[in-house]
Amino acid sequence: MTYQEDVENFMKAGDQPIQENLTLNGAQPELYMNLITEEYKETLEAFQEQNMIEVADGLADMVWVIMGMCSSCGIDFEKVWNEVKASNMSKFIDGKAIKNEAGKIMKPESYFHPDIKKALGL
Ligand SMILES: [Mg+2]
């Protein structure tokens, strides 16, 4: 069971439609964007108060509403994640990062951008 599937079960139980096609229109993407903002603010506040329990709770809530946003917009999160992961991991050669003198991880020849279009099936 993926996080997105967990959230979709919650959405189905709550009569919130799961989008099959890509869209950013409608009340539900709007709702989930607002929830992401709300949860981010709560988490930031907890962080500023150095409240570990509330930070952990807030991070999980953020993942929850981000998954809800994906399912409200027809985004298969796993596919997008895999593209982003592959791109990030392409910064390493044989598991090692190339760093400059200041310690910044550099983008080697092997680096490639994530193909989000492909991940979305566009
Ligand atoms: Mg919360």
Q: Which two tokens stand for residue 27?
A: 């009340």
Band the pLDDT of 69: cuts 50, 70, 90. Answer: very high
Question: Does 94 have pLDDT greater than 90?
Answer: no
Residue 17 lies in a domain: no
Confidence of residue 97 (pLDDT cuts 50, 70, 90): confident
Separation between Cα atoms, residue 22 and residue 1, nearest integer Å: 22
Separation between Cα atoms, residue 3 and residue 50, nearest integer Å: 27
Q: What is the pLDDT of residue 106?
A: 86
Whether residues 71 and 27 fall in one domain:
yes
Q: Decide if 13 is inside a domain.
A: no
Q: From ligand 1's centre to the CA of 73, what distance in Å? A: 22
- Give per-residue pLDDT as tens, 23-57: 999 999 999 999 999 999 999 999 999 999 999 99
Q: What is the CA radius of gyration of the chain?
A: 18
pTM score of the predicted model = 0.91
Per-residue pLDDT, 41? 98
State whether 35 and 66 are in the same domain: yes
- Domain-located, residue 70: yes
Give me ligand 1 centre to Cα 31, in Å: 15
Work out how many domains the chain is built from and give that number: 2
**Does residue 40 share a domain with residue 4?**
yes
To 5 degrees, how large is the angle CA 85–CA 18–CA 13? 115
- Asked if residue 59 and residue 93 are part of one domain, the reply reads no
Residue 104 lies in a domain: yes
Rounded CA-CA distance 117/84 in Å is: 12
